[in-house]
Amino acid sequence: ALPLSSSWNPQVKQVRGVDDDYEDFDKIKIIGKGGFAEKVYLARKKDTGSLYAIKTMSKQFIMEEQGRYEQVFGELKVMQRLNNHPFVIRLFSAFHSEEYLHFAVDFCSGGELFYLL
């Protein structure tokens, strides 16, 4: 059975000591989609007013194929380890809801790197 409860995976923990939830952000608009992310939202944190990009991934999609799970959690581990690197977007928080996994990262305007290259 697909684990969709709030205790879905112990690896999905808050990052940098931040206790966030999807409800702590106001979605402004969709700024990307495709790949593993169902959608990437530009969002404003309600208490600080800071802007973030929130990558939203379906738990069901991640669990459909064996390699997806490892790839998503590999990405999370890399982002956690390189969180203060000057050339890597910082992971602000990682959290999950009933059906989705969310990564809140720094918002960088200017479009997707893929298209800039």
Output the pTM of the full model: 0.77
Q: What would you measure as the largest C-alpha separation in the chain, in angstroms?
A: 41
Q: Which long-range contacts link 61-68 to residues 24+ away (Cβ below 8 Å)?
A: 61/36, 62/36, 62/101, 63/2, 63/3, 68/36
Distance of CA 107 to the CA centre of its chain: 12
Give the pLDDT confidence of 47-102 residue by residue, as tens digits.
999 999 999 999 888 888 878 888 888 888 888 888 888 888 889 888 888 888 99
User: Residue 76: in which H helix or E strand, if any?
Assistant: helix 66-81
As a dihedral over the C-alpha atoms of residue 3, residue 4, residue 9, residue 13, rounded to 10 degrees, the angle is 180
